[in-house]
């Protein structure tokens, strides 16, 4: 019997559980000469906003112990140019395409969702957890449960596309936020986004980032992300995408065993663009060695 690596995110059927994370893989076309895109489980695009954004002032990326802090500020081409210039290439792929969207208010999310309704995409990821976008209470939307739920409910009512909600780890109880997303109509949850962080240049006695704070990602956050994925998978029935410091197959397997239905590679793409493909091969090898024929038998197999 052959290996069955298939999994589902809402109505999206994936041939394997390995995605590439929003903001780390551009619009995918940049990687086409480096990676066989058709081998991926799914592609999540760079987060798109209604209008083009230039992003934050540089420096925008600094290296830290076992990770990086980025303060890109959602730099992107805007919805119109994305649909006209970027989406045609993505539509030419057979791999599922999930478009990540971000905004400053409910109207932004609704406008973008309605525009994307007529496009041949597999799903929409609501980026409600970018540290650079605040709600009226000076929190990210994913830290403000009322605004968070309101946006998800309104978007859910405006589209039949599979709806994935990206959670922030910068909250008191990630389980409460995940349950709110499920109750509001999310088909799947993606976690975690980056941790709010900063770095200081001691010679100049100044921040290393132009924006002072940014999002910490990479291997440094994996143990915390792993704990959060386990906690969330225990309290929701919808699909869970695990991410945060996944650099190799062993990392990915930890998330799957903890209950993630799929995993997403972020910072690893910067180090080796083929990281995701190596992870797919590593998962296959592990399943063969353990005589596990179906990925579903591996997901949530943690013995506590």
pLDDT confidence of residue 139: 57
pLDDT tens, 198-245? 999 999 999 999 999 999 999 999 999 999 999 999 999 999 999 999
pLDDT confidence of residue 131: 61
Query: Given 3-state DSSP classes, what are the helix, strand and coil percentages for the chain, each rounded to the nearest 5?
Result: 35, 20, 45
Evaluate if residue 132 carries a pLDDT over 60: no
CA distance 3 to 258: 20
pLDDT confidence of residue 78: 98
Average per-residue pLDDT in the chain?
Answer: 95
Q: What is the dihedral of CA 99, 103, 108, 114, to 10 degrees?
A: 10
Identify the residue with better confidence: 129 or 55.
55
Evaluate if residue 7 carries a pLDDT over 60: yes
Q: What is the mean pLDDT of residues 123-134?
A: 79
Helices (H), the chain: 79-81, 87-91, 106-116, 145-156, 174-184, 222-233, 249-257, 268-271, 275-290, 295-298
| Nearest alpha carbon to residue 45 among 77, 70, 16 | 77
pLDDT confidence of residue 146: 84
Q: Please, which pLDDT band fits residue 63 given cuts at 50, 70 and 90?
A: very high
Any idea which residues carry the catalytic annotation?
A: 130
Parallel, antiparallel, or unpaired: how do β-strands 262-265 and 239-243 relate? parallel
Q: Please, which pLDDT band fits residue 133 given cuts at 50, 70 and 90?
A: low
Domains of the chain: 7-56+73-196+217-298 (3.20.20.70)
**Two tokens at 55?**
């992003």
pTM of the model: 0.95
pLDDT tens, 109-123? 999 999 999 999 999
Evaluate if residue 135 carries a pLDDT over 80: no
pLDDT confidence of residue 70: 95
pLDDT confidence of residue 1: 61
Q: What is the mean pLDDT of residues 89-102?
A: 97
Q: Please, which pLDDT band fits residue 151 given cuts at 50, 70 and 90?
A: very high
């Amino acid at each position: 019997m052959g290996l069955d690596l298939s999994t589902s995110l809402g109505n999206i059927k994936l041939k394997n559980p390995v995605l590439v994370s929003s903001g780390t893989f551009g619009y995918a076309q940049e990687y086409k000469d480096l990676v066989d895109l058709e081998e991926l489980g799914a592609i999540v695009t760079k987060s798109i906003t209604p209008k083009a954004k230039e992003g934050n002032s540089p420096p925008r990326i600094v290296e830290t112990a076992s990770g990086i802090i980025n303060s890109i500020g959602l730099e992107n081409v805007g919805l119109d140019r994305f649909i006209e210039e970027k989406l045609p290439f993505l539509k030419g792929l057979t791999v599922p395409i999930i478009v990540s969207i971000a905004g400053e208010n409910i109207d932004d999310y609704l406008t973008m969702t309605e525009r994307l309704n007529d496009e041949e995409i597999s799903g929409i990821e609501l980026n409600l957890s970018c540290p650079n976008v605040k709600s009226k209470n000076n929190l990210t939307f994913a830290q403000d449960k009322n605004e968070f739920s309101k946006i998800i409910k309104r978007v859910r009512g405006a589209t039949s596309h599979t709806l994935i909600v990206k959670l922030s780890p910068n909250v008191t109880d990630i389980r409460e936020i995940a349950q709110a997303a499920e109750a509001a109509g999310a088909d799947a949850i993606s976690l975690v986004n980056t941790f709010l962080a900063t770095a200081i240049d001691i010679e100049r006695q100044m921040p290393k980032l132009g924006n002072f704070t940014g999002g910490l990602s990479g291997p440094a956050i994996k143990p915390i992300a792993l704990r959060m994925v386990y906690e969330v998978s225990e309290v929701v029935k919808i699909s869970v995408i695990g991410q945060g410091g996944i650099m190799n197959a062993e990392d990915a397997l930890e998330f799957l065993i903890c209950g993630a239905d799929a995993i997403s590679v972020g910072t690893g793409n910067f180090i080796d663009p083929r990281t995701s493909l190596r992870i797919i091969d590593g998962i296959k090898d592990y399943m063969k060695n353990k005589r596990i024929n179906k990925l579903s038998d591996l997901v949530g197999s943690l013995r506590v």
